[in-house]
Every structure is written in C-alpha cells, then in structure tokens.
Amino acid sequence: MNKIKIGWLLSLALMLGMTSCGEQKSNTKLILNEVLIENQTNFQDDYGIHSAWIEVFNQSYSSANLAGYRLKVSNQPGDTASYFIPKGDVLTLVKPRQHSLFWADGQPNRGTFHTNFILNGTTDTWIGLYDSGDKLVDQITIPANTLKADESYARVSDASEDWEVKGASEDKYVTPSTNNQTQDSNAKMEKFKQHDSVGVGMAITAMSVVFSGLLLLYISFRLIGKASVSVSRRRAMKTKEVTSVEEAKEKKLGEAPGEVFAAIAMAMHESQNMHDEEETVLTITRVKRSYSPWSSKIYTLRETPKK
C-alpha cells in the first residue's frame, strides 16, 4: 500500500514539474531585446518620423503571436502607462528568431505598432512585457541619463542575458528589427582555412568518407547474400533430404541458376523499354451521317405477341 502511495506522489510531482517547465518555456518565448529613447537621425517609422522604439524578439524556433499582449512603461513609482496590443493584425505574428518593432510616439491611432506612451530618458525607465493573461514575461530598467541621442540599450546578442549601450562606437551599432550582433566571418571556416589553405585535408576527408561508405555497403551486401544462400540451401536440403553440406554444395542446392538471372535481367530490360514510340500527329476525319426513315430502327420495332 505504501509503495502505491509513493508511486502516485512521484507521478504527480513529475506532472507538475513538466507543466511548470512547459509554462516557463511558453512565457519566455517573446522577450524585450532593444530600446531606443531619443531618436534624432535613427530609424524612421512608416510615417517618416523619428520616434523612440521598443524591439521585441521571438527567441523560439516557432511562431509567436503578440496579439493580446501589453507593453507597460513607468518613469516613476505609481505612474505606469499600459498599451494593449490589439488583435486581428496578421503582423503581430512574429516568425521564429525574428523581431517586432513598436514606436513609442504616443499616437496609437497610427496603427498597431504605435503605442499610447512616450519614453523619457531623464529618469529611470522601466519597461515590462505582459502576456495575454496579464503575466509578466520580461522587463528591463534603463538607468537615467544612460543613453545619448541615437543610442540604444540592447542585449549584447539576441536573447542574451547581458545588456549594453549600442551606438557609441562603430563595432556596437544600433540594430532595429535585426540581429543585435552581426558576425562578419565564420570562426570555424577561418580556423579551417588557417590549417588547410589548399584544401588537401578536405579532399582526403571527403574521399575517405565516400570509400568507407562503399566498403561498408559491399560488406553488408556480401554478408546478406551469403546468409540468404545459406538459408536457401538449408531449405533445399530439407526438401530433398540431403544431410551432407558438401553434397549440397556440389549439387548447388539453394543457388539460383543462370536462367533465373537471365529472366530477371530480361524483365528489367522490358520494364525500362515497355512503351513504343507513338505518332504525335493526330488525324481527324469528319463522318457525315444522313438520317433516313428507311434505315431508322424505330420502324422495325414490333409489339410482342400476347400469349
């Protein structure tokens, strides 16, 4: 009885753990990724106006919808502005590993991605992202006077835990609606070029893989062929009541004769060339049929005699 109770408790604990893990994964699918407060010469919105913006990133490998989410901003305790992301806009569906940009211009009548609040960099700015159940998904606090004009507060790379100021130097530039860190080169390729500039190692590796695969195929087919011949020989020995293996090999029991292979080869040849070449020119001859009561069948019908 105690073992049954322990089993039930462990099952419930496992289910709760899986549920909590699933919820955590879904809640952290959309996160805040980059914020620009004072926009003078940076990215323009769809009206050609320079406004502050907030970037949201979908860090998962499946699409996520922002419809029903809320963006909340607070510059001082007790003063929190909230923007409800409306439903019904197909653009709120963020594709895997992609970004969505919201303009903090205080003009929500301009579209779905224009919020009803503005950002102020002279005080500490808190920004929170809430899901459709009004549960906090992600948040960030930008210290006062941290950002200059056209500088953003962003993660070092997309979905990274560390944040930094971008726009102050050429290697750290502002990246609205794109990756926070762009790699201009592939480290693995550069290392490979350094150790094998000519490509001899690549060629040897490729040829080794191909020949190894062919060798394994040959061995596999060889072993399978021997096994099938052995099984066929045993069946033939049992049918013809032959007990000696040497005698069975001399009589070639279980081995297919040459006529069988010839028939298989002929059948494969016929299957590959089974269609004849047909004429591609169509000839249509018009047939004229004239009606005559003398040739009509309706006049040849007679009533069946009654018995």
The long-range contacts involving 22-25, CB below 8 angstroms and separated by at least 24 positions, are: 25/60
Whether the full predicted model's pTM is greater than 0.85, yes or no, is: no
Structure tokens at 66: 């922002």
Rounded-to-integer distance, Cα 57 and Cα 94, Å: 8
Q: What is the pLDDT of residues 192-224, one digit of tens each?
A: 777 888 888 888 989 999 999 999 999 999 899
Question: At 233, which helix (H) or strand (E)?
Answer: helix 200-240
- How far apart CA 152 and CA 164 sit, in angstroms, is 8
Q: Tens of pLDDT along 110-145?
A: 999 999 999 998 999 999 999 999 999 999 999 999
The first and second tokens of residue 32, run together, are 């805040």
Tokens 């301009």 identify what position? 110
Q: What are phi and psi of 155, to 5 degrees?
A: -70, 150
- How confident is residue 236, by pLDDT bands cut at 50, 70 and 90? confident
Rounded Cα–Cα distance for residues 159 and 161 (Å): 7
pLDDT at 40 > cutoff 70: yes
